[in-house]
Structure 1
């Protein structure tokens, strides 16, 4: 969400980001008034989507204060550079700060232009991550040791005040008159029941990050969790897998059965046979000639491949694709699967992972179409459940709009006895940072594939993709992402032509 675009608040994009745990990023170089107003509107909409609208005035102040501080820090850099002063030098710092405020206020347009030319940004990031809302203000200059000491001193002093009146008296008596903004910020957070640990300022090599972490209301988390479980328990319209698929699963798990038995059982289902042959003849297997024999296809795919086919084929058969919404979802899922497979092939070179991420990509959003299968009678039961447990109607609406879809999908996958790696790929495809080490590869690959698809569709920006995951795949620039997507898209189109 770049600040250079027309400043219209895109409610649908904010809603999608809030529901999916995708960070919303606004970048500016000069922080003009219209951007401040826009940031306030985006924050208000975002907080409304995560059920925390009551915090908008308090957090609006905090974001504004931190953004202005970041802007001042950037101005200080260009001012010192222009005067040939070293920020790290105690003597130079003292000389520079004597006239910094007066000089920059008198000629602010000049210094803001310098900031833009030097690429010094202010980046505001809002994200709903698991049970926490994270607000970050970043600027791409490292804070000096002197500045960090001053900041932490201001924060330490702010903790001693119980009221704004007390702070105003004490701080304004101070000869420097400094730090009032941060004092008010800490008092604002206290006022909404947040302790000082919720706010921190850290300095990385190339960035200074001011971060506010707000735990979501515990009642809201419990409501979402209760309701998600109730829906999965009540969805009797989603049976266990069809009998023929269960038969093949039993054959695969029977050490006495042979490939020929598995091939024979598959051939009894013409649709599954066609699906298996389509997979074997895809670019994934790079065969010199087309395979028409189901027994040869079973040998080529192997036991793991057959198992994965059962999960994806069985899920699609049960959930169906008869509506436009479902068709669009499956289109996105197959594209994600193709991207995930190619990410694993190019960056991990692990055959088992390639197979697993492909089916993980197909199934990652299965929680989103649960509501397409919900019968009106069930909606009545769920509303009664909400009433009985005093769960607000808005929580049910959040779920039906896609909130918690990863958890609902994972609960359904557990109900269907999917393996743990697939359950984790579904549950954590928006939150890879919490994946256990054994599931990290599949979760990160499915996450990145999904994000690349969203980026390709213009639904998010490069800044919204997790930097750590990108780094784990050796990706450091937007250009690399665009090159990958171009290659993957060409392959995906060729794959579709080949299969029709």
Structure 2
């Protein structure tokens, strides 16, 4: 089911490190209030509630400036003036403020007719929270220089009182606003580098980047590490799987010896044969011989199968069926994506297993025994950790980090650790594993799109580019094809 209110949507967005975007053509008062509400929820979730008032001012200042920039375009166009002409610019700015204020509804309607928008995007990633305000009119060099001049002026002031006492250029009404914005950032312990403004591909993008409260990050890491260290029942794989892994790593062992060991575990045997005879291998004839099956998947493929098989055996409780169903769907999508972009067999294997294990952190946390939950909660109280932090973890926040720490404890390959840790933030993964992480990321995102947890605009643009996806229609077609293929796979 899709989330029903904005608070739920934001919690999901933070968990999945996807942006939340609000688009407006007129940016009326109700929209401004809505944006402030969204900001408040984000800061509350990120432990930065004390910044609400100051950041709300900064957000409003940048959003209104973007709207004014759009208004200026339609005003100059209506007057037959060019923004690029010095004389025209001076002529147009003489009455810009008074005339647009008197006929603001007229100019806002013109902006809407011409499709001139203001997009406000909120995004948490790594240890930062970013607010980006876009309008689809690219800033001119003259306008950009005026803003940099105001930023430079702000360095001369130690307080807002000093800034207010100065008479600044008021032709566009934004002179003092940018100075106050920079002073607001200083009050928050940030420098002017936290603010950026630039033009690109017909858009102007103004952004603020705020570090998530360091104390919250430290506490989250502390509690995550404690959870991983306390789960003593989970780290050891079944002995027979460990023995098979050792045989795979032993250069002196042969395929037949490995096959014999596998055949002693009926469940593992059935799983191996199921994988080999699935659509993944597209064999003309069914394989029922274990040795042949091992040859088909290869030693690396077998090792990956053991990772997923062992994890499921340890964690696959009946009440976790929904999580594992999602894991298998993600794995199928990830494998299909990897094969579609013609990755090597090793990459394809890792993409499949990475898909199965990407939400291991959620599964582990949801499988914790009640007595252990109580023990971890006592630890949080003893260390005076922030209220709500444990609930955040239980709700899925930081699950990628929990899963990666478990994977490291189980000695999983670095490729799988990267896929688990960065399946919501592929741009932070190591370059050599980026292809695998991209596959797992998009596969998981497609599942979220099916559940209406996210929308197309929230997807990582670099990942879409990697898969040569240029439109929402193209992605929907891909989603439908994969969903139908997965359905057929289940019926085999």
1:3 maps to what in 2?
A: none
Higher relative contact order (CA 8 A, sep 6+): 2
Matches within 5 A, 1:370-449: 370-449=364-443
Shift in Å, 1:389: 2.8
Q: Distance in 2 between matches of 1:455 and 1:228?
A: 28
SS of the equivalent of 1:450 reads: helix
Matches within 5 A, 1:19-418: 19-171=15-167, 178-323=174-319, 326-418=320-412
1:480 maps to what in 2?
A: 474
Residue 322 to residue 76, structure 1, CA distance change in 2 (3 Å): same
Of 281-290 and 77-86, deviating more is 77-86
Shift in Å, 1:20: 2.5
Residues 300-337 of structure 1, C-alpha deviations (whole Å, 9 max, x = no match)? 111111111111111111111310xx211111111211
Of 197-206 and 167-176, deviating more is 167-176
Shift in Å, 1:178: 4.6
8 Å CA contact 1:129–1:431 kept in 2: the answer is: yes
Residues 242-265 of structure 1, C-alpha deviations (whole Å, 9 max, x = no match)? 011111101111112222222222
TM-score under structure 1 normalisation?
0.93
8 Å CA contact 1:30–1:112 kept in 2: the answer is: yes
Of 415-424 and 182-191, deviating more is 182-191
Of 272-281 and 225-234, deviating more is 272-281
Residue 338 to residue 118, structure 1, CA distance change in 2 (3 Å): farther
Shift in Å, 1:175: 8.1
Shift in Å, 1:110: 3.1
8 Å CA contact 2:195–2:207 kept in 1: the answer is: yes
Shift in Å, 1:9: 4.1
Q: Distance in 1 between matches of 2:451 and 2:378?
A: 39
Q: Calculate the aligned-residue CA RMSD, in Å.
A: 2.0
Shift in Å, 1:238: 0.9
Shift in Å, 1:35: 1.5
* Runs of at least 5 residues in structure 2 that lack an aligned partner in the other structure: none
Residue 152 to residue 295, structure 1, CA distance change in 2 (3 Å): same
Residue 9 to residue 72, structure 1, CA distance change in 2 (3 Å): farther
8 Å CA contact 1:120–1:141 kept in 2: the answer is: yes
Shift in Å, 1:151: 1.0
* Runs of at least 5 residues in structure 1 that lack an aligned partner in the other structure: 1-5
Residues 450-477 of structure 1, C-alpha deviations (whole Å, 9 max, x = no match)? 1222122211111111112211221222
Q: Distance in 1 between matches of 2:116 and 2:322?
A: 40
Residue 318 to residue 63, structure 1, CA distance change in 2 (3 Å): same
Q: Distance in 2 between matches of 1:347 and 1:171?
A: 59
Shift in Å, 1:112: 2.2
SS of the equivalent of 2:14 reads: helix
8 Å CA contact 1:281–1:291 kept in 2: the answer is: yes
> Among residues 429, 432, 444, which one is paired with 1:450 in the alignment?
444
TM-score under structure 2 normalisation?
0.95
Q: Distance in 2 between matches of 1:315 and 1:161?
A: 59
Of 368-377 and 38-47, deviating more is 368-377
Shift in Å, 1:177: 6.3
8 Å CA contact 2:216–2:386 kept in 1: the answer is: no
Give every structure 1 segment of 4 or more consecutive aligned residues whose post-TM-superposition deviation is greater than 4 Å.
172-178
Q: Distance in 2 between matches of 1:177 and 1:487?
A: 52
Residue 416 to residue 101, structure 1, CA distance change in 2 (3 Å): same
Shift in Å, 1:109: 2.8
Q: Distance in 2 between matches of 1:233 and 1:227?
A: 10
Q: Distance in 2 between matches of 1:293 and 1:118?
A: 66
Shift in Å, 1:174: 7.1
Residues 253-282 of structure 1, C-alpha deviations (whole Å, 9 max, x = no match)? 111222222222222222212221221122
1:471 maps to what in 2?
A: 465
Of 209-218 and 407-416, deviating more is 209-218
